[in-house]
Amino acid sequence: MTDKEAESGKEKMEDRAKEMRAEMLEKIEARAQAAMNDERYDRLRTQLMRRILSALLVLSALLIAVTGAMDGGWLFLNLILFGGLWFLVGKATRGFTDFPDELVDERIRSTRNKVYRYAYISVVAFLALVVVIMALGNIASLNLSLTGDQLFAGAMALFWLAIVTPAVIFAWTEPEL
């Protein structure tokens, strides 16, 4: 293969990648327009309802740590509850935290950037608090040893909490959507 053929192939791949991105953005833009015009979930978009849903979603994420270490189907039920609440928070916020920058206005983009910063800080602070509690427990000779199931459930709760925190903060702080 010559350099000219290799360069031609590279250009074709780059062109195809640009076409695919444009097609994807078109689909996302159509989804964004549908979300903006969707009135079915307007009753969830009041600030009070968004705050209630946000609080329940965070509580459900934290309960994953508790139910994950228990026997029985409690974790499965809690994950179903969590998924339903996550869906409702997404509908209440119109999915603004998920859309690319090209599809949201400057105010939403600015708010979303601030929300992601606060979400990162809050999740890291929560994780640091857990580490400090574990360290103090070991220093005070408390038996804070955790089983593998408990560690897994705690890690899963932290994972889901990290994913939903931006949407929760956005839903909690925005005066109207």
Tokens coding 54: 């946000």
As a whole number of angstroms, the distance between CA 176 and CA 140 comes to 48
CA geometry: angle 8, 12, 18, nearest 5 deg = 145
CA quadruple 144, 149, 155, 158: dihedral sign: negative
Tokens coding 18: 């640009």
Rounding to the nearest 10 degrees, give the CA dihedral for residues 37, 30, 164, 88.
Answer: 40
Give which of 102, 82, 105, 103 is closest to 167, Cα–Cα: 82
- Write out pLDDT tens, residues 82-108: 999 999 998 898 888 878 887 788 888
| Count of beta carbons in the 10 Å neighbourhood of residue 111 | 18
Return the higher-pLDDT residue of 28 and 1. 28
> How high is the mean pLDDT of the chain?
84
Confidence at residue 1, expressed as pLDDT on a 0 to 100 scale: 63
As a whole number of angstroms, the distance between CA 79 and CA 76 comes to 5
As a whole number of angstroms, the distance between CA 75 and CA 153 comes to 9
Cα–Cα distances in Å, from 177 out to 36, 37, 47, 142? 9, 12, 9, 48
Return the higher-pLDDT residue of 70 and 116. 116
What φ, ψ does residue 69 adopt, rounded to 5°? -90, 0
- Write out pLDDT tens, residues 118-155: 989 988 898 888 888 877 776 766 666 767 777 778 88
Tokens coding 165: 């925190």
Tokens coding 86: 């996550």
